[in-house]
Structure 1
Amino acid sequence: MNIIDNDLLSIQESRILAENASEAQKLLAAFPQEKLDEIVERMAEEIGKHAIELAKMSHDETDYGKWQDKYIKNKFASEHLLVKLRGMRCVGIIDEDIQNKTMDIGVPMGVIIALCPATSPVSTTIYKALIAIKSGNAIIFSPHPRAKKTICKALDIMILAAEGFGLPAGALAYLHTVTPSGTSQLMNHKATSLIMNTGVPGMLKAAYKSGKPVIYGGTGNGPAFIERTADIVQAVRDIIASKTFDNGIVSGAEQSIVVDGCIEADVKRELQSNGAYFMTEEEAEKLGSLFYLSDGSLDSEVVGKSAQELAKIASFDVPSSTVLLISEQKYVSESNPYSKEKLCPVLAYYIEDDWMHACEKCIELLLTERHGHTLVMHSKDEEVIRMFALKKPVGRVLVNTPASFGSMGATTNLFPSLTLGSGSAGLGMTSDNVSPMNLIYIRKVGYGVRKIEDIIHRVHAEEKTQLPAAKEQPEYNSDDIQMLQNILKKALQEIK
C-alpha cells in the first residue's frame, strides 16, 4: 500500500519553486522597464478575456458572494489597475534631480511569496501578479485551499501569456500541492525576500516567524460616520451599495454605522426605504450567535451570504425587499459579535450625541480588533473631517464615498489595490494601498557638489564667529626659553 505524504511533497516542491524563482529573478532584474511593461500588458489582456468565466468558477468553488460582483473586481484588476500602471517607473532610474545631482534607482525586492483569500481569489491573484512583474520581482503563489482550482487556472492563463512574451520560466509560479508545511517552507526559504499575505490570518504567525518583511492586507472593522452636515440620501446609498457588493466580503467595506443623534431619525428612515431591515433584539441575538466559532474564528458558512439567506439560517422572516440587516447597539466589546468584522451584509448601528462622541466610538470600534483598516466619513464640515483624519488609528480615511469602492481606489484617487495595508495601526509593514513601489527598494545616488576643504573652512569660520575671542598668548622661541631657565636658576642660587 502506497501512502503519499503531501507535507513532504509540498515542502520539496516549495524548495524547487523558490530556487527556480531565484534564478529567474536574476534574469528578470536585467529587464528594462519597457520590457516588463510589455509582459504586464499581455498578461492583463489575456486574463481579461476570462473575467466572467473565472468569476463564475470562483463563486461555484467557494460559495462566497455574487459572481456578477466578482466579475467587476476581475475587470477592475485587469483593466483599471493596468491604466494606473502605465507610465509608472519602478526599476532602473525612476527619478533624477539634475539641479541637485541626485538619482533614485528602483531595485526589485527579489522573490515574493503571495497568499490570496478565498473571498476575492481571482482579482487578488491578477493584481499581485501584475504589480510583482511590473516591478521586476518573481512571485510564487500558495493558493487558498478553498479557491485552489480557480486561482491555479487564473495563474496558468497569465503564465502562458507572460512566458510567451519573454518572462523567464519560474518567475511566475504556484504551489500545486498546498499544505501549511509547504507554504511555511516557501516563506522561510533563503531565496524569499518578501511575503504578501492578503486575507489569510491563519498563516500570519508563520509569516512573521520567518523573519521576512510582511505586507498584510487583513481584516478591518471600519465604521462609517454620518455627521449632521452629510447628504443623508447619498450617504445611505453609498453604504448600502458598498456593504451589499459581493454580499459584504470586501475587507474595506463598512462594518458599522455611527450616526449623529440629531439626524438619526432621517438616517433610519432612509435606510429602511432602501432595503435595510432593523432586527429586533431577539433576531440580532440569533444571527450574532452564528458569526463566530468556539475558537473565535469567523464561521465560513455565513461569509458572503445574502441578507435573505442569513435571515433564513437564523430562523426569522424579513421582507422580500431586504438587502441589508442592521442591529442597533450601544456598547463595543470583544465578546459582542456586532463589534467585529462581519463579511456579509450585516451592520451594527450606533447613535451618538455629537461628532466628538462619535469620534470616540469610532476609535473603540477600530481598536476592537486592532487592525486599523479603513474609516469612512459622510460630512460637509471640513473641520470635522480633518479632526477625524488626524485622530483615528487607521490605515485610510475615506470621505463621502462607498468604502468597498473608495478603499480599493475605484471611486477615489487612491492607488487601485486589492491589498490594503493597515501599517502601525494594525499589522504588516505598510498602511498603503499596496502598489509596485512597495515591492522595490530605492538605491540613492548622490554626486559630489562640495569639497571637504570647503566644509572644514566653513566650520572653522563659524567657530570664530560663535566662540568668544581668546586672549592672546605670548609665543616663545627656544632662546627665550633657555634665557628664562637661566634667570630662574640664578634666582634659586641667590635664595640659598
Structure 2
Amino acid sequence: MTVKAKATVKATEKPKDKEQTAEELINGLIDKSEKALDQLRTFSQEQVDKICQNLALAAEEHHMDLAISAAEETGRGVAEDKAIKNIYASEYIWNNIRNDKTVGIIDEDDENQMITIADPLGVIAGVVPVTNPTSTVIFKSIIALKTRNTIIFSFHPQAFKSCLKTGQILEAAAEAAGAPKDVIQWIPQCSRENTTALLQNPRIATILATGGPGLVKAAYSSGNPALGVGPGNGPAYIEKSANIDRSIYDIVLSKTFDNGMICATENSVVIDDEIYDQVKEAFKKWNCYFLKPSEIPTFTNGFIDPDRHQVRGPIAGRSANDIAEMCGLKNVPANTKVLIAELDGVGPKYPLSAEKLSPVLTMYRAKSREDAFRICSELLAYGGEGHTAAIHTNDDELIKEYSLKMKASRIIVNSPSGLGGIGNVYNNMTPSFTLGTGSYGSNSISHNVSDWDLLNIKKVAMRRDNPQWVQIPPKVYFQRNSLKYLKEIPNINKAFIVTGPGMVKRGYIQRVIDQLRLRNNRVQYEIFSDIEPDPSTDTVDKGVAWMNDFQPDTIIALGGGSPMDAAKAMWMFYEHPDTTWNGVRQKYLDIRKRAYKIGRPKKAQFIGIPTTSGTGSEVTPFAVITNSKTHVKYPLADYALTPDIAIVDSQFVESVPANTTAWTGLDVLTHATESYVSVMATDYTRGWSLEAIKGVMENLEASVKGDKLARKKMHDSSTIAGLAFANAFLGITHSLAHKMGGAFDLPHGLVIAIALPQVIRFNAKRPTKLAMWPHYEDYRADKDYAAIARFLGLKGDTTEELVEAYVQKIIELAHKCGVTLSLKANGVKREDFDKVVDQLAVLAYEDQCTTANPVEPLVSQLKELLERCYEGTGVETEE
C-alpha cells in the first residue's frame, strides 16, 4: 500500500538562539540524527524498502513543481530538463537499488563458510550543488535511507528554497512510511561556517560531496571520510567511421539538456580531419553558432574567470543566447542551441578549453588518430582527469584502444556523454548523480556512487575446513624386476636418461637400455650421466640444453636422490623455458597458492627409477638443487614436479655401499617421522608414515649388512615414506640438514641423522611460537612422537618418556649402523662452523620445509639447534 505524504513548505528556518555557534547548531542536528539512526538500525529490509518506495513516489509526484522552483530560484538550466532529472533521481535510482539487500545478513556462503552483513555508516553529510539541486537531494536521500543511514544536507545558498522544499517533501514522505523523525535534516541557514562545521564534525560518518572543486576539496580535507567528485572536462572524439548525424544529435542533446550542467557533459569535440567540415555543417543544421576568430577573445574574457581559469559563476547553466549576451557577442541568432569555438590548443593559453558547464563547446581538428588521442588526453589533463570521455565510432578495436589510453573513469560510446555518464539511460552503468573520478581526479572512488558505497560490510569468517589432498604418481610399480614394465609403458619414442657415472659403471644403465630394446617400437635414447652428488644449477642447465636439442618425449631418471632431483629440474626448464631459479625456489605457505606457478608438463612423461632407499623422490613433487656459485641448496616444490611413473625395483639397491645404505635409511626414517608430526599430516598420510617407520626400524640394520630381503623392504619403505611426505611435507630437520650439508659438504643422509634427535626433542617441548595451519587445531607434536613410540612397542609411562624412548631408539639404530651423530665427529672444524652458524640459522628459517614443522621456530632457536648438532649434545655428549 502506498502511503500518501502530506508536505507543507515552511519558510526558511532560523536558529532559535541567535548566539548559537556553528558547532552548536551542527551538534544539535547530529544529536537528533543519531537518535533517529538508533531507531533506523532496528528496521527490517521490508520497512526500509517501504520508506524508500514512498520517497520515490513523493519525488515523482512533485517532480515538476520542484523543477520549476529550482529553475526560477537559480536562474539556471531548463525547468523541463530538471523535471526529467527529478524523475531520474527517483525512478531510475530506486529501480536500480530496489532489490539490493542492505539490511543485516545479506549473504550466506556455505561453501566458503562466509557470512556477509550490511550495516549503516551512520550520519551522512550531504552537500548539494546549484547545478542539480532538487534531483541531488532526492538521489542522496534515497540511497541514504536504503542503507539505514540518516542524512544532514548543506544546501547551496543559490538553491536553498527549492532544496528546502524538496527536503520537506521527502522528510514527510519518510515519516509517513514509518521512518523515525529527523532521518532527513538540513542546515537551516546557509553559511560557509555552518557547512565547514558539518563537514568537520567528527561524528559525521561520511560526506557525500557534490559541488565545485573548492567544496569537494574541503570535504576531502575535513578529516572525515568523503565520497566526492571532480570537475569534468570531457572530450568527445568523433572518428571518421562514426554515424555523423547520430553523433551530432547526441552531442547537441547532451549540451542543451539542462543547459549542459551535468558534469559528464561534453566540453570539447575532437574530429578527424577527413570529416571535420561535414561535422561542422551538421552542427550548423542544429542551430549551433560558430564563433568567428575575431569574437573568441571577447567571448573568452566574458566567459572565463582569469584568476580561477574556470567558467564564471553566473554563466554556468545559462542558455546559449544568454551567454552570448553576457559575453559581448552580437548578432547571435535567437534560436541558437550551442556556441562553438574552434581552437587549436589546450591549456591556460586557450582558456576556453576548460570545463564549461553550459551549452558552449570547443572544437578541434585532428590530423590523425594519434593526434586525436593527444588532444583528448590534454583536455582531460586540463581540469577533467578521471571523469568522463566520449567516443563516436564504428570501430570496436578503436573503442578499446581509446578506453585504455584515456585517463577517464567512464568512457561513453556512441551516446550523449552527459546522459550516458550518469548511467542507466543510454547504457547499463549504475545510475547516479555523484560520479567518482578515481586517483586521476584525486578521488577515493572511480565509479558512480550508489547505495553500496554507504554500507559497512562485515565479513563473518567461519573457520574453514580447507580441502586436503593426496597427490601421487598415477602408477607405482614395485617388487624385484619390476623394471620390465619399461617395455610396456606407452608413448616412449625418444628417451632422455639422466643418471650418475656410478650407474654406468655398475651396468644399471644397460639394464634400462635392454628393456627399452625389448619394446615393440624402436626407441631413440640419449644418456646424460654427469650428475654429481648434490646436483648444481650448472649441471641442470647443461642437461636442459641437451634436452632442447634432442626433444625427448620421455625422461627416465635412474639413481638416487641426486639424478632424480636433477632430472626433475631439467624436466621443469625443458617444459617451461621461462622458468627462473629465483622464482621456483621461493618459499610458500600453501603449495596450491604459491606466488610462482609452474605449468603442468606437456612435452614429456617422467619415469623415476630409484637406486637408493632414501629420498623417495620417485613419488614426490620435490627436488633439491645446489646453486653453483653460492652453494646454497634450493628446495624446489611443486606438484608439476611429481613423476608420472615410479619403478621401485630392489635389484638396484642390492649392491649399495653400507654407509650410503645407512645414511639413506636414516633419511627415510626422518621423512616418515617428520611427515607424521607435520601440521599438514592427515589420516591418509599417517598410515604411510607409520608403515615406513616400522620398515626402517625392522630392516635398516640388516640392510646395512647386505641382507637382500631387508634391502627390498627398505626400498619399499623409502617410497612409502615418499608418498607420505609428498602430501604432508617435512619439517626443520630437513631445513637444518639442507643448510649444513651445503655448508660443510656432507652427505644429506648423514646431516639428516645428526639433526633428527635434536629436532624431536625441540618439537616435543611446548612451543614458544605456535605453528599455523587450519587443520592443526592444537599443539600435538609430543603426543604424535609418543604415538610412534607406542606403535613400535617402546616403553614409557608418560608422553615425555615415550618421546625420549623414541629418540633413544633412533640414536641406537644410528650407532648400530655406524653413524656418529655430530658435525664435530664428522670432520667439521669449530672455527668453520662459527663463521657460518648465524647465516645458516637464517637460511634454515627461510627453507621451504620450515613452514610445515609442528613448532614455529625462531631463528635464535635454530641457531641453538645447529650448536647442538655440532656438538652432538645429548646424543654423542652429555647435556
Is 1:230 the equivalent of 2:452?
Answer: no
State the percentage of identical aligned residues.
35
Q: Structure 1: which amino acid aligns with 2:380? A: L
Cα displacement (A) at 1:354: 2.0
Show structure 1 runs of 5+ residues with no match.
489-496
Query: Residue 428 of structure 2: which of 401, 410, 413 is its match?
Result: 413
CA distance in 2, matches of 1:452, 1:20: 51
2:185 match: secondary structure: strand
Query: Residue 367 of structure 1: which of 370, 373, 381 is its match?
Result: 381
Query: Residue 150 of structure 2: which of 101, 116, 138 is its match?
Result: 138
Instruction: Give the corresponding residue for 2:414.
Output: 400
Q: Structure 2: which amino acid aligns with 1:316? A: K
CA distance in 2, matches of 1:6, 1:397: 50
8 Å Cα contact 1:115/1:200 also seen in 2: no
Instruction: Give the corresponding residue for 1:315.
Output: 329
Q: More displaced, 232-241 or 315-324?
A: 315-324
2:115 match: secondary structure: strand
Please list the CA deviations of residues 449-468 of structure 1 after superposition, one character each: whole Å capped at 9, or x if unmatched: 3279998533873447x976
Is 1:448 the equivalent of 2:463?
Answer: yes
Query: Residue 425 of structure 1: which of 431, 437, 440 is its match?
Result: 440
TM-score for both structures, normalised by structure 2: 0.52
2:404 match: secondary structure: helix
1:26 match: secondary structure: helix
Please list the CA deviations of residues 208-250 of structure 1 after superposition, one character each: whole Å capped at 9, or x if unmatched: 3321111112320000001111111101110000001111111
Please list the CA deviations of residues 77-104 of structure 1 after superposition, one character each: whole Å capped at 9, or x if unmatched: 1222221121111222223323222222
Instruction: Give the corresponding residue for 1:473.
Output: 753
CA distance in 2, matches of 1:135, 1:359: 41
2:251 match: secondary structure: helix
Query: Residue 458 of structure 1: which of 640, 662, 680 is its match?
Result: 680
Query: Residue 290 of structure 1: which of 297, 302, 305 is its match?
Result: 302
Q: More displaced, 281-290 or 468-477?
A: 468-477
Alignment CA distance shift 1:223-1:85 (3 Å): same
8 Å Cα contact 1:215/1:430 also seen in 2: yes
List aligned pairs for 1:186-265, cutoff 5 A: 186-265=198-277
Alignment CA distance shift 1:312-1:100 (3 Å): same
8 Å Cα contact 1:372/1:393 also seen in 2: yes
TM-score for both structures, normalised by structure 1: 0.91
8 Å Cα contact 2:230/2:384 also seen in 1: no
8 Å Cα contact 2:216/2:229 also seen in 1: no
Q: Structure 2: which amino acid aligns with 1:385? A: I
Cα displacement (A) at 1:194: 0.3
8 Å Cα contact 1:216/1:427 also seen in 2: no
Alignment CA distance shift 1:47-1:9 (3 Å): farther
8 Å Cα contact 1:198/1:216 also seen in 2: yes
CA distance in 1, matches of 2:145, 2:168: 15
Alignment CA distance shift 1:399-1:470 (3 Å): farther
Instruction: Give the corresponding residue for 1:271.
Output: 283
8 Å Cα contact 1:255/1:347 also seen in 2: yes
Query: Residue 381 of structure 1: which of 388, 391, 395 is its match?
Result: 395
8 Å Cα contact 1:18/1:189 also seen in 2: no
Cα displacement (A) at 1:269: 1.4
Q: More displaced, 293-302 or 213-222?
A: 293-302
CA distance in 1, matches of 2:365, 2:329: 27
2:312 match: secondary structure: coil
8 Å Cα contact 1:10/1:175 also seen in 2: no
Is 1:303 the equivalent of 2:303?
Answer: no
Instruction: Give the corresponding residue for 2:365.
Output: 351
CA distance in 2, matches of 1:236, 1:451: 58
Alignment CA distance shift 1:470-1:423 (3 Å): farther
Alignment CA distance shift 1:67-1:451 (3 Å): closer
CA distance in 2, matches of 1:265, 1:200: 35
Question: After TM superposition, which residue ranges in structure 1, 4 or more long, deviate above 4 angstroms?
Answer: 4-9, 451-456, 466-470, 474-481
Alignment CA distance shift 1:434-1:350 (3 Å): same
Show structure 2 runs of 5+ residues with no match.
1-15, 470-589, 591-677, 682-724, 739-747, 758-806, 826-879
Q: More displaced, 446-455 or 319-328?
A: 446-455
Q: Structure 2: which amino acid aligns with 1:473? A: A
> Is the radius of gyration larger for structure 1 or structure 2?
2
Alignment CA distance shift 1:432-1:477 (3 Å): closer
Cα displacement (A) at 1:335: 4.1
CA distance in 2, matches of 1:320, 1:26: 56
Cα displacement (A) at 1:301: 2.1
Q: Structure 2: which amino acid aligns with 1:430? A: I
1:364 match: secondary structure: helix
2:88 match: secondary structure: helix
2:397 match: secondary structure: helix
Is 1:163 the equivalent of 2:175?
Answer: yes
Q: Structure 1: which amino acid aligns with 2:338? A: L
Query: Residue 341 of structure 2: which of 322, 327, 340 is its match?
Result: 327
Alignment CA distance shift 1:452-1:226 (3 Å): closer
Q: Structure 2: which amino acid aligns with 1:61? A: E
Q: More displaced, 233-242 or 426-435?
A: 426-435
CA distance in 2, matches of 1:6, 1:115: 24
8 Å Cα contact 1:363/1:392 also seen in 2: yes
1:458 match: secondary structure: coil
Please list the CA deviations of residues 381-438 of structure 1 after superposition, one character each: whole Å capped at 9, or x if unmatched: 1111111111211121111110111111121111111111112110321111110001
CA distance in 1, matches of 2:208, 2:27: 18
Q: More displaced, 220-229 or 282-291?
A: 282-291
8 Å Cα contact 1:283/1:316 also seen in 2: no
